Amino acid sequence: MNIALLKSKTDRVNVMSQQESIIKYAKSEGIRLDTTEIEGSDDTIALEDRGEFKGFLRSLTPKDNVLIYDLWVFSSDTGELVKILECLLTRSIRVYICNLNLHIDESTPPLDVLTILSQFREKSLFKQEEVHKGRPKGRMSKSKFDPFRAKIIDKLTEGTSVSKISRDLGVSRTSLKDYINSRGLKELVEAKKSLLGPKRVIKSEKKQSAKKECSLIKEK
Same domain, 119 and 83: no
Quote the pLDDT of residue 204. Answer: 38
Average pLDDT over residues 136-148: 68
Same domain, 99 and 48: yes
Q: Does residue 86 belong to any structural domain of this protein?
A: yes
Residue ranges in the chain assigned as alpha helix (H): 15-29, 51-59, 78-89, 110-133, 149-157, 162-169, 173-182, 185-195, 204-213
Task: Write the single-letter amino acid at 145.
Answer: F
CB 156 within 8 A of CB 164: no
**Whole-prediction pTM value?**
0.67
Same domain, 125 and 174: yes
CB 164 within 8 A of CB 128: no
Quote the pLDDT of residue 6. Answer: 94
Q: Does residue 197 belong to any structural domain of this protein?
A: no
Looking at the structure of the chain, the number of domains it has is 2
Same domain, 64 and 160: no
pLDDT tens readout for residues 202-217:
333 344 444 445 666 6
pLDDT tens readout for residues 92-136:
999 999 999 999 998 988 778 887 887 787 776 545 444 444 444
Same domain, 132 and 100: no
CB 22 within 8 A of CB 68: yes
Q: Give the residue numbers spanning the domain of 134.
A: 113-192
Higher pLDDT, 203 or 165: 165
Same domain, 165 and 186: yes
Domain at 48, CATH number: 3.40.50.1390
Same domain, 118 and 160: yes
Same domain, 99 and 207: yes
Same domain, 6 and 102: yes
Q: Does residue 146 belong to any structural domain of this protein?
A: yes
Same domain, 8 and 102: yes
